[in-house]
């Protein structure tokens, strides 16, 4: 059965940049299930969760390094007559073209999809050489296939006469590529070919193979591709783009005649492509991607940057290149990096001018001084190295003595150099790889275009994005660039207010690019304190994974949340951003202490008012979806209705957070709530069914493993379940490291271990005056030490109006004296339970309190009031403190969830 890749891949401009592999796997598996009713046999895809279904895929068998290059052996290892999908990469045979498709191969391979990288033995040797610093686990399924050029019969004599030997040698690959694709297509259910635009002619036979689809990968900027397209189609462009492109130099001035002839052959062979892929992103070239779609009349997907957009300090420190020892000693943004790529060779005269210009600028520099790769040759050994005789006499000695420069005459790790904090500028030929690397790392450019697409990229960098300056004017390309001009350009970029503005602009653009390939998370809590607390603790845990995290709700409820994190280590919430959303005023009745039901009906108006958050949250999600590759929404299960619009935002996934015990979900009893709440809960259930991709529980298998299995099987079989609790810290109270200074903690320090009972009934419980008196007398007569949190239940808005003052029997506080502490405001419950003096907990058995008590090893004296509390009271947990404190399965579940949402 054939499928179009249009259905495999979502519209990437909506799914965000660099989500190609994620989107590819997700969309494919969903459509396979829809059209075949099952999962693909022997699929090498990883575990993928489509909305509404969880599918387990087979993992590929281990293979030796030799096996990676053997297609037939790979087919045998699959142990299937027909496997599922294969990706065939056909790069153009020059280093600047090999690198981006090699990185794309790495990304696709990380999803366990088999990737076949085609090339000549020489080009594949170059590609493998570039893999030398990579972790082999990053590309477990890449297989290199060396092509042997075919006969000249497929290329006419007139064409061979117009083209040089290098281009002719590429055209001779048409026959072996066709044979390879035929072999692969007989083994795999679908073959997807991703070829460089410069290889379109040699893969044109793929259209005749029924289960093979082709996608054209552009290694030039979308801006340059648009300029070429409009020259061919003659279609008008809107202003000001039309005026900018009209001023670009014609291709006859940037390419030689052989290259132009070769390019025209490729354009004539691309009619059967439906999609163009670009190593770019909307943040950099969104306008040009859209205009290119209009010009080409087909989809154009921005799937870049295919390179890492961040280099960790740990990774940089592992690099052994000697330039990093020198860079580490330099000041922030103080060094200009000078490199002209792998296809450029400067004359000796120009090298001298450049050397003098760098020296006279009095700015620090790293200069990669090497000749161009030999076209079509073995560029690992035959590259022309920089020569001492090319430099002015005494130049190297002077800069070494002054410590102002570092000259590298061999290969240099460009991306890692650009990522180093001391790099403040990049003098470049403006090849597109270099441009997008410089943008990703936030480094402004000094443009020195040499040939091909570079003059057009220069216009994009300097006039459109305005993140660079021009060193070499294209109009004066035949003239020597003087040392004085180089000196002035370097000083302008590195040591001027204007240069600082360029640095600010490119830093902002870099930040946008990095966000576009990151996942962001947003928390949407129910406006009740027990529900707020759990998502606050979950926010703290997710923040530790360096994920940008947003916490959204009405202003009054976020004020409550912010009060609760006062005293937390600020590092633990450093990536949390609070969003106060508008909501109309609502009634905030006082709790009724004499009500026949203890359910907190006074909170229902605030619950109903949350429906007004629907449109603000939708707007917020739409904004975040434009900035992040994927937006993960973690919402309280009782506020699902605010997310009813999320199915229209493709890169948003919603996960329901259940704030009650799994046991209570499995055995829910309506008699413990009001009819009004039952109806409210029913409505939320209906919306959960629409938006949900999975369920999270503040529990763990050590406590509720049996019920988690029951719920997963009977109530939530369509969604993945994660038991990620306890969310609260599980270490006992440590006074030395605590930021809590509540007075009760000083009193606890004076008590014997396990001698104090902690009495607290949460934020939703109100007692009658009579019951309070009975409790007071009972505690007094018990002759046990106690801490009693005596406060009225929360209203819908705890910050408005007056609260009831709870009265105790006359003379009570004087009689209990130092044997008891009465707290009439907020108390640090977790720290109290974690104190060694606390030996028991009289509680309403809200699930937060149960989990905190279990985590701290404190037995509970149950006094259930409403909702899930009666069921929690039934749930018996014995001797579980140690297994919870030690982590175990709970930590693995949290790691599993983080891995899933960042996949």
Q: How far apart are the first and last CA of the chain?
A: 28
- Measure the CA–CA gap between 321 and 324, rounded to whole angstroms: 6
* pLDDT, tens only, 82-112: 358 999 999 998 888 999 999 999 888 877 8
Mean pLDDT, rounded, of the chain:
81
CB atoms within 10 A of CB 419: 22
* pLDDT, tens only, 103-162: 999 888 877 889 999 999 999 988 887 776 666 666 778 999 999 987 766 666 767 767
Question: How many percent of the chain have pLDDT more than 90?
Answer: 49
- Measure the CA–CA gap between 290 and 276, rounded to whole angstroms: 12
pLDDT score of 37: 34
pLDDT score of 900: 76
Residue of 899, 892, 853 lying closest to 876 (CA atoms): 853
Alpha helices, DSSP H, located in 628-768: 662-666, 675-691, 701-714, 743-749
Q: Which CATH superfamily is domain 515-729+893-901 in?
A: Glycogen Phosphorylase B; (3.40.50.2000)
Residue 461 DSSP code: I
- Range name among 384-398, 500-514, 610-624, 654-668 with the lowest pLDDT average: 384-398
Most confident of 14-18, 648-652, 662-666: 648-652
What is the assigned CATH class of domain 15-302? alpha beta
pLDDT score of 395: 95
The answer to whether the beta carbons of residues 759 and 840 sit under 8 Å apart is no
DSSP string, 203-259: GGGGGGSTTEEEEEEE-S-HHHHHHHHHHHH-----TTHHHHHHTSPPGGGTS-HHH
Q: Is the pLDDT of residue 875 over 90?
A: no
Q: Is the pLDDT of residue 31 over 90?
A: no
The answer to whether the beta carbons of residues 901 and 519 sit under 8 Å apart is yes
Task: Give the mean pLDDT of 683-702.
Answer: 92
- Measure the CA–CA gap between 708 and 700, rounded to whole angstroms: 9
- Measure the CA–CA gap between 219 and 199, rounded to whole angstroms: 12
The H or E element that residue 484 is part of is helix 483-494
- Domain 735-888, CATH number (from 3.40.50.80, 3.40.50.300, 3.40.50.2000, 3.40.718.10): 3.40.50.2000
pLDDT score of 560: 76
The H or E element that residue 470 is part of is strand 468-470
pLDDT band for position 573 (50/70/90)? Answer: low
pLDDT score of 137: 64
Higher pLDDT, 800 or 749: 749
* pLDDT, tens only, 256-309: 888 888 888 888 877 667 789 999 998 999 999 999 999 988 899 999 899 888
CB atoms within 10 A of CB 393: 10
Residue of 304, 248, 252, 262 lying closest to 94 (CA atoms): 262
Q: What is the pTM of this model?
A: 0.68
Yes or no: is domain 313-514 CATH 3.30.360.10? no
pLDDT score of 881: 38
pLDDT score of 627: 80
Instruction: Copy the structure tokens of residue 674.
Output: 């009001």
Among residues 636, 794, 797, 868, which one is catalytic? 636
Task: Give the mean pLDDT of 54-61.
Answer: 26
pLDDT score of 574: 67
pLDDT score of 432: 97
Q: Specify whether 636 is catalytic.
A: yes
Among residues 97, 531, 557, 579, which one is catalytic? 531
pLDDT score of 447: 97
- Measure the CA–CA gap between 757 and 694, rounded to whole angstroms: 38
Task: Give the mean pLDDT of 375-392.
Answer: 55
pLDDT score of 287: 95
pLDDT score of 83: 54
pLDDT score of 569: 64
pLDDT score of 389: 58
Q: Is the pLDDT of residue 60 over 70?
A: no
pLDDT band for position 527 (50/70/90)? Answer: confident
pLDDT score of 416: 93
Q: Is the pLDDT of residue 762 over 90?
A: no
* pLDDT, tens only, 819-839: 999 998 888 999 999 999 999
DSSP string, 142-184: EEEEE-----GGGS-HHHHHHS-HHHHHHHTTHHHHHHHHHHH
pLDDT band for position 802 (50/70/90)? Answer: low
The answer to whether the beta carbons of residues 279 and 98 sit under 8 Å apart is no
The H or E element that residue 83 is part of is strand 83-90
- Measure the CA–CA gap between 730 and 887, rounded to whole angstroms: 9
pLDDT score of 340: 94
Task: Give the mean pLDDT of 391-407.
Answer: 93
Higher pLDDT, 89 or 164: 89
pLDDT score of 320: 73
pLDDT score of 639: 95
* pLDDT, tens only, 206-245: 989 989 999 999 999 999 999 999 988 999 999 999 999 9
Instruction: List 277's β-bridge partners, or say none.
Output: 217, 301
Q: Is the pLDDT of residue 855 over 50?
A: yes
Domain ranges of the chain: 15-302, 313-514, 515-729+893-901, 735-888
Residue 331 DSSP code: P
Classified as helix, coil or strand, 516 is helix
pLDDT score of 556: 83
Q: Is the pLDDT of residue 577 over 60?
A: yes
Residue 343 DSSP code: S
- Measure the CA–CA gap between 597 and 581, rounded to whole angstroms: 32
pLDDT score of 758: 96
């Amino acid at each position: 059965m054939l499928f179009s890749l249009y259905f495999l891949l979502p519209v990437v401009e909506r799914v965000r940049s660099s989500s190609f592999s994620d989107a590819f796997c997700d969309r494919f598996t969903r459509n396979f299930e829809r059209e075949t009713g099952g999962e693909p046999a022997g699929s090498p895809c990883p575990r993928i969760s489509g909305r509404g279904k969880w599918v387990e895929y087979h993992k590929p068998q281990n293979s030796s390094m030799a096996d990676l290059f053997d297609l037939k052996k790979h087919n045998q290892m699959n142990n299937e007559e027909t496997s599922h999908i294969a990706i065939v990469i056909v790069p153009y045979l020059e280093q600047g073209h090999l690198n981006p498709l090699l990185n794309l191969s790495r990304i696709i391979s990380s999803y366990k999809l088999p990737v076949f990288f085609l090339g000549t033995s020489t080009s594949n040797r170059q590609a493998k050489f570039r893999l030398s610093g990579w972790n082999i686990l990053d590309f477990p399924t890449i297989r290199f296939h060396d092509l042997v050029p075919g006969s000249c019969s497929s290329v006419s004599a007139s064409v061979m006469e117009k083209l040089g030997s290098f281009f002719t040698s590429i055209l001779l690959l048409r026959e072996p590529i066709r044979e390879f694709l035929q072999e692969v297509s007989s083994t795999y259910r679908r073959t997807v070919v991703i070829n460089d635009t410069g290889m379109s002619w040699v893969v044109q036979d793929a259209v005749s193979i029924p289960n093979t689809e082709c996608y054209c990968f552009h290694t030039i900027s979308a801006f340059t591709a648009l300029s070429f397209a409009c020259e061919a189609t003659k279609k008008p462009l809107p202003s000001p783009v039309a005026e900018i492109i009209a001023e670009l130099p014609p291709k006859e001035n940037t390419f030689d005649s052989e290259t132009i002839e070769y390019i025209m052959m490729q354009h004539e062979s691309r009619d059967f492509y439906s999609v163009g892929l670009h190593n770019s992103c909307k943040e950099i070239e969104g306008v040009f991607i859209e205009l290119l779609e209009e010009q080409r009349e087909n989809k154009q997907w921005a799937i870049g940057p295919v390179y890492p957009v961040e280099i960790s300090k740990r990774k940089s420190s592992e690099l052994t290149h000697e330039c990093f020892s020198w860079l580490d000693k330099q000041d922030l943004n103080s060094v200009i990096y000078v490199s002209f790529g792998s296809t450029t060779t400067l004359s000796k005269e120009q090298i001298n001018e450049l050397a003098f210009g760098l020296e006279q600028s009095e700015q620090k520099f790293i200069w990669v001084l090497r000749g161009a790769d030999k076209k079509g040759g073995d560029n690992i050994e035959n590259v022309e190295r920089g020569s001492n005789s090319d430099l002015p006499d005494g130049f190297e000695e002077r800069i070494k003595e002054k410590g102002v420069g570092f000259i590298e005459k061999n290969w240099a790790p460009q991306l890692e150099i650009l990522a180093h904090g001391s790099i403040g500028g990049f003098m470049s030929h403006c090849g597109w790889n270099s441009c997008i690397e410089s943008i990703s790392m936030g480094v402004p450019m000094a443009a020195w275009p040499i040939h091909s697409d570079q003059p057009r990229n220069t216009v994009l960098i300097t006039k459109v994005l305005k993140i660079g300056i021009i060193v070499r004017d294209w109009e004066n390309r035949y003239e020597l660039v003087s040392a004085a001009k180089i000196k002035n350009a370097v000083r302008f970029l590195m040591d001027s207010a204007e240069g600082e503005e360029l640095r600010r602009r490119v830093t902002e653009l870099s930040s946008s690019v990095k966000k576009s390939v990151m996942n962001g998370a947003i928390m949407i809590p129910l406006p009740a304190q027990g529900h707020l607390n759990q998502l606050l603790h979950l926010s703290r845990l997710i923040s530790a994974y360096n994920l940008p995290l947003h916490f959204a709700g009405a202003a009054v409820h976020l004020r409550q949340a912010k009060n609760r994190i006062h005293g937390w280590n600020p590092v633990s919430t450093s990536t949390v951003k609070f969003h106060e959303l508008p909501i109309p005023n609502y009634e905030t009745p006082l709790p009724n202490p004499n009500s026949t039901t203890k359910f907190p009906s006074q909170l229902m108006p605030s619950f109903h008012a949350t429906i007004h958050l629907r449109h603000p949250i939708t707007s917020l999600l739409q904004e975040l979806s434009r900035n992040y590759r994927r937006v993960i929404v973690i919402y309280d299960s009782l506020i699902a209705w605010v997310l009813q619009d999320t199915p229209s935002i493709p890169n948003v996934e919603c996960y329901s957070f259940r704030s009650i015990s799994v046991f209570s979900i499995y055995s829910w009893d309506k008699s413990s709530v009001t009819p009004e709440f039952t109806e409210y809960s029913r409505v939320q259930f209906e919306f959960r069914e629409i938006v949900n991709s999975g369920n999270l529980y503040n529990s763990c298998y050590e406590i509720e493993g049996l019920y988690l299995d029951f719920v997963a099987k009977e109530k939530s079989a369509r969604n993945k379940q994660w038991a990620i609790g306890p969310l609260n810290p599980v270490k006992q109270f440590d006074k030395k490291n605590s930021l809590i200074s509540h007075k009760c903690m000083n009193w606890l320090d004076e008590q014997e271990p396990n001698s104090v009972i902690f009495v607290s009934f949460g934020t939703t419980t109100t007692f009658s005056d009579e019951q309070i008196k009975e409790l007071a007398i009972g505690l007094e007569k018990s002759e046990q030490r106690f801490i009693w949190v005596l406060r009225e239940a929360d209203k819908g808005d705890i910050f408005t109006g007056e609260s009831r003052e709870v009265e105790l029997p006359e003379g009570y506080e004087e009689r209990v004296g130092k044997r008891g502490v009465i707290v009439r405001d907020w108390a640090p419950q977790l720290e109290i339970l974690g104190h060694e003096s606390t030996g028991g907990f009289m509680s309403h058995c809200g699930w937060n309190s149960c989990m905190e008590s279990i985590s701290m090893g404190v037995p509970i004296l149950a006094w259930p009031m409403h909702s899930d509390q009666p069921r929690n009271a039934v749930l018996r947990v014995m001797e579980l403190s140690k297994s919870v404190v030690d982590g175990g399965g709970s930590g693995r579940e949290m790691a599993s969830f983080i891995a899933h949402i960042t996949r």
